[in-house]
Amino acid sequence: MALAAASRGLLHAGSRLGRREVVDGARRFANKRVLVETEDTSGIAVMKFKNPPVNSLSLEFLTEFVISLEKLENDKTFRGVILTSDLPGIFSAGLDLREMYGRNPAHYTEYWKAVQELWLRLYLSKLVLVSAINGASPAGGCLMALTCDYRIMADNPKYTIGLNESLLGIVAPFWLKDNFVNTIGHRAAERALQLGMLFPPAEALKLGVVDEVVPEDQIHSKVRSVMVKWLAVPDHSRQLTKSMMRKATADNLLKQREADIQNFVSFISRDSIQKSLHVYLEKLKQKRG
């Protein structure tokens, strides 16, 4: 059975996580933090982030997500995946700062490898990926959206999307920068990254951070109709085309993956950075009361 196919590579240890249920006539492949809803007939699966309170990309979330994605990737039933959030008002708040604060270098190494893995798997996915951005999507939330083939955002001015790392005192990794430059161009990326800009839907659309903005209650029907259009293209030529467009950017990370990890670990271990993260985390705690 394809869904049960053993996952390979880095994250094989997690292959026991999956449980299968049948809910409302659809197969549901439920982990704790990523709900996978599938329909056999359409070839479409939906991955719903459910990691309260804000879908932070914790190490556990990343591990489950990549395993779930790999299963879909290896199951010929599925040709397209919709990424969306199961939590109201938040797509994903991005990297989990608690994984980056007060831990040891071995932990930082493991965490950053998992972040790289998430991006690589998504960016190079053979599946059609469409994101239904139904909530705020800063930093790592924006990262997941940027890897998709098409991005649809709910038209709610409270939601913003962007790479705001610089405002937190940190820097987006070069491969995410490359992905961003590919998406909105060099100049717009340079400005947005330096200023740590978060864009409401209308501005995100104008700049090309997202491809379409729709009323919030229509986002799931819209994302489905867009997916149908993408699935009308023969898989093999679409996949070869996608690979041709993205290979150079992904190779840029693959050929210096270790150096990128070392760079992250040494940066995040600095006293000044740990101090900034401490201040920020304390603020968050107070805010959440």
In degrees and rounded to multiples of 5, residue 150 shows phi and psi of -155, 140
β-pair type (34-38, 26-30): antiparallel
**Can you say whether the dihedral through the CA atoms of 82, 19, 117, 98 is positive or negative?**
positive
The DSSP secondary-structure symbol of 7 reads P
Quick check: 165 and 225 in contact, CB under 8 A?
no
Q: Which of residues 10-39 bind a second copy (CB under 8 A)?
A: none
Question: Taking CB under 8 A as the rule, does residue 189 contact a second copy?
Answer: yes
Question: Taking CB under 8 A as the rule, does residue 196 contact a second copy?
Answer: yes
140 is catalytic: yes
Residue placing its CB nearer to a second copy in the complex, 71 or 242:
242
164 is catalytic: yes
Stretch that binds a second copy, among 2-10, 81-89, 154-162, 192-200 (CB under 8 A): 192-200
Question: Taking CB under 8 A as the rule, does residue 124 contact a second copy?
Answer: no
Q: In whole angstroms, what is the distance from residue 250 CA to residue 130 CA?
A: 19
E strands present in the chain? 19-23, 26-30, 34-38, 44-49, 56-57, 80-85, 89-90, 94-95, 128-133, 135-138, 150-154, 161-162, 198-199, 212-214
x/- map, 206-235, a second copy, by CB under 8 A: --x--x-----------------xx--xx-
Residue 24 token pair: 């409302």
Stretch that binds a second copy, among 39-47, 101-109, 137-145, 177-185 (CB under 8 A): 177-185
Question: Taking CB under 8 A as the rule, does residue 199 contact a second copy?
Answer: no
165 is catalytic: yes
Active-site choice (57, 87, 95, 127) = 95
Question: Taking CB under 8 A as the rule, does residue 195 contact a second copy?
Answer: yes
Q: List contacts with a second copy (CB under 8 A).
A: 149-150, 165-172, 174, 177, 181-187, 189-191, 193-196, 208, 211, 229-230, 233-234, 236-238, 240-242, 244-246, 272
